[in-house]
Amino acid sequence: MIMSTGTVALFGGAGFIGSHLTERLLEEGYHLVVVDIDSEKIEDLLSHNRIDFHELDIRQDDAGTVTSVVESADVVFDLIAYANPKQYVDMPLEVVHLNYDQNLRLVEDCVETDTRLIQFSTSEVYGKIGNRKGDDEVFSEDGSDLIMGPVENHRWIYATAKQLLERMVHAHGLENDLDWTIIRPFNFIGREMDYLIEEPDAGTPRVFASFISALLYDHPMYLVDGGENERAFTHISDAVEAMVYILEEAERYNREVVNIGTPGNETSIHDFAHLMRDIYADRSPDGDLPPIENVSGEEFYGAGYEDCERRIPDATKLTDAGWEPQYDLRETLEEAMSYYLEKYERAEAPSLD
């Protein structure tokens, strides 16, 4: 077990997931070394005497900072990734360059320095089939096949890059005694999740941020292919609890792939949108609700997009050890939406000057 006096390096530690994990690990007493391209989401933490921050794009590490940070750490969390379907469709080569090439360099640094690695992957590695509507089957880390769509549907280039990275991590464990854990996250939601867009053509954030943008700025809520696909959403606080548990139970999760997700929070994207509308209407009863429009995946994301019907995790590697999610779907959305609604209301409030 890594004690709370140890040093944890977080690559991508100022992103959505990383910022929440950074805050929690400081509370637990760890010394942290955080590497990210900016510090906006952890700015209020940087005065802490147990955090060192390096503003760095690991693709431009001429000074060897990455290797030095890995050498200084007892454990490395690697959270760096492009993680938006629009990116997979629009810039597939750069997605592979960052998500595979650059992350593999981090893996190799951990091998060279004999440093434990907790590697973030993605639930996308399960691919396009496996969970069928009406079936009881869920995605199992050690039993489910990983099946992608055809090459021309290059949305799967992200999943393929992450899957190959997983296999390389596994191979380094076999041949070079790397201690590793791979985390496959399932749709985490919370404050500071994503960017918002004031106009519908100003970007393509992930589904929660896309819908809250539509509610706040009164533009259509787009249901891709009717919103029939189903996902299981997880409160970021529940996810962080699982991450801390994995960190501290090093022996239990050594050389294991672990899903982090909340199967009980499964819903269709259609119902997800309507639940957000209900919560918004309760919070702002005098506000108008934006229209809902159905669009094709190709129209919304571009040519080469494809999706899967369901993506529901088997979470028993965590629940059998005592981890249990505390937030149901409505609570998860209420808390995340409250953050953005309050931020919007403060921005819109008239100045007292």
Burial class (CB in 10 A: 0-12, 13-18, 19+), 315: buried
Is the pLDDT confidence value at 1 over 50? no
> What pLDDT score was predicted for residue 260?
98
Q: Which two tokens stand for residue 155?
A: 């949305």
Cα end-to-end span (Å), the chain: 54
> What pLDDT score was predicted for residue 12?
97
Identify whether 107 is part of a domain: yes
> What pLDDT score was predicted for residue 69?
97
Share of the chain above pLDDT 90, in %: 79
Higher-confidence residue: 351 or 103? 103
User: Element (H or E) spanning 269, and its range?
Assistant: helix 269-283
Q: What is the pLDDT of residues 68-97, one digit of tens each?
A: 999 999 999 999 998 888 888 899 999 999
> What pLDDT score was predicted for residue 352?
46
Higher-confidence residue: 274 or 89? 274
Q: Which two tokens stand for residue 333?
A: 């959305």
pLDDT, mean of residues 155-168: 96
pLDDT, mean of residues 330-349: 88
Higher-confidence residue: 353 or 65? 65
Instruction: For 268, list phi and psi in degrees, rounded to 5.
Output: -80, 160
Identify whether 278 is part of a domain: no
Q: What is the pLDDT of residues 282-300, one digit of tens each?
A: 988 777 899 999 999 899 8
Question: Per-residue confidence at 344, pLDDT binned at 50, 70, 90?
Answer: confident
Identify whether 49 is part of a domain: no
> What pLDDT score was predicted for residue 244?
97
Q: What is the pLDDT of residues 220-272, one digit of tens each?
A: 999 999 999 999 999 999 999 999 999 999 999 999 999 999 999 999 999 99
Annotated catalytic sites, by residue? Answer: 158
Question: Per-residue confidence at 135, pLDDT binned at 50, 70, 90?
Answer: low
Domain that holds residue 93: 81-190+233-264+313-326
CA atoms within 13 A on the CB side of 294: 6
Is the pLDDT confidence value at 132 over 90? no
The count of domains in the chain is 1
Give the C-alpha separation, 162 to 289, whole Å: 38
Please answer whether residues 313 and 261 qualify as being in contact, where contact means their C-beta atoms are separated by less than 8 angstroms: yes
Question: What is each CA distance from 213 to 19, 109, 201, 227, in whole angstroms?
Answer: 21, 40, 12, 17
> What pLDDT score was predicted for residue 4?
57
Question: What is each CA distance from 1 to 6, 67, 176, 184, 253, in whole angstroms?
Answer: 10, 23, 21, 21, 11
| Mean pLDDT of the residues in the chain | 92
Identify whether 114 is part of a domain: yes
Q: Which two tokens stand for residue 157?
A: 């280039």
Identify whether 284 is part of a domain: no
Question: Per-residue confidence at 203, pLDDT binned at 50, 70, 90?
Answer: confident
Identify whether 66 is part of a domain: no
Identify whether 271 is part of a domain: no
Identify whether 126 is part of a domain: yes
> What pLDDT score was predicted for residue 205?
84
Burial class (CB in 10 A: 0-12, 13-18, 19+), 71: middle
Please answer whether residues 268 and 228 qualify as being in contact, where contact means their C-beta atoms are separated by less than 8 angstroms: yes
| CATH code: domain of residue 91 | 3.40.50.720
